[in-house]
Structure 1
Amino acid sequence: MADTIIKIRKAVEADSEQVWVLMKELAIFEEYIDVFAITPHIVKEKGFRKNPPDFYCIVAEDNDKIAGILVYYFIPYTAQNRPAIYMKELYVDENYRGQKIGKQLMNALKKEAELNNCKQIKWTVAPWNEAGITFYERLGAKENSDWLNFELNL
């Protein structure tokens, strides 16, 4: 696959099934598959048919196969009076890792942030995901230890 040409683009409704497959693979990788409630129909409805959508997605495509996804949404109001982007999911199919696809997806997200006058891109990473942490640090990201993450499960 060294000669593979990957196209980075915004996802379209026809990508819903393949995007869902990678979302499911990420849920398995991050060990929350037991609570994973997303279906291809939900991806289609919430990401492409709802206006505005609940999430946006950038894909890495190899011919007709989605090799990677980056799912994000906007945080419209911040203290800087500029929006931010929250990256919810970044996942590259195992068969395509090591080809800088994650970096290409992140670069596309940076362009999206700039186009939308965003001040920051935010995300979380599991503390056990050392490869992910190393990847983000190589991109120039810094851990923000000023705040603690809290959740209230309902």
Structure 2
Amino acid sequence: MNIIIRKAKESDSEKIWVLMEQLAIFEKYVDSFAITPEIVKESGFRKNPPDFYCLIAEDEQKIAGILVYYFLPYTAQNRPAIYMKELYVDEGYRGQKIGEQLMSALKSEAEKHNCTQIKWTVAPWNKAGQKFYERLGAEENKDWLNYEWKV
């Protein structure tokens, strides 16, 4: 199998949305999932700057995985950071190191943009995800707690 990692383009919007929906099902928030293919197209490809960027893992025109991220332009180090919002590999492609390839491409993107770090969250029940990130060398940030304020 020949997996290619590349930046997503507007014509990928529908396929990206399918994996976003699969992630919503996996992470148990599909009932509040409000993204549509048109929102992906508008927010990720037609806005300037876009609301998000996306890397895809592709196998002969089928998208096997996605990694959605955006830049945090200001940090205390006066350099940007990247926030990874979503990483998802289609069930049929798991165990083939596609997640690692996507993360490696994200790390290259961070280095290219002089970022200080890549941040993300993982659900406490997602032990496989936690092990995956730790295997890559990531560390849990125990200095900060996540809060949210619903409006």
TM superposition score normalised by structure 1: 0.98
Structure 1 portions without partners, runs of 5+: none
Aligned Cα root-mean-square deviation (Å):
0.3
1:104 matched to 2:101? The reply is yes
Name the aligned partner's letter for residue 18 of structure 1: K
Q: How many residues align?
A: 151
Matching residue's letter, 1:21: V
Aligned counterparts of 1:43 and 1:25: Cα–Cα separation in 2 = 15
TM-score (norm 2): 1.00
Is there any run of 5+ residues in structure 2 with no aligned partner, and where? none
Identity of aligned residues (%): 77
The whole-number CA distance in structure 2 between the counterparts of 1:63 and 1:90 is: 20
Runs of 4+ in 1 over 6 A off after TM superposition: none
Structure 2 letter corresponding to 1:22: L
Tell whether 2:121 aligns with 1:124: yes
Code of the residue aligned with 1:60 in structure 2: it is A
Letter of the 1:97 partner, please give it: R
| Cα deviation digits, residues 80-102 of structure 1 (max 9, x gap) | 11000000000000000000000
Q: CA deviation at 1:23?
A: 0.2
Distance 1:13 1:20 in 2: 11
Q: Is residue 152 of structure 1 aligned with residue 149 of structure 2?
A: yes
Cα displacement string for residues 93-127 of structure 1 (whole angstroms, at most 9, x for unaligned residues): 00000000000000000000000000000000000
The aligned residue for residue 52 of structure 1 is 49
Structure 2 counterpart of 1:54, one-letter code = D
Q: Give the one of 7, 13, 17 matched to 2:10.
A: 13
Distance in 2 separating the partners of 1:9 and 1:106:
12
Note the C-alpha offset of 1:35.
Answer: 0.5
- Find the aligned partners of 1:107 and 1:120 in 2 and give their Cα distance: 13
Code of the residue aligned with 2:9 in structure 1: it is: V
Partner of 2:70: 73
In 2: Cα distance, 1:80 partner to 1:12 partner: 31
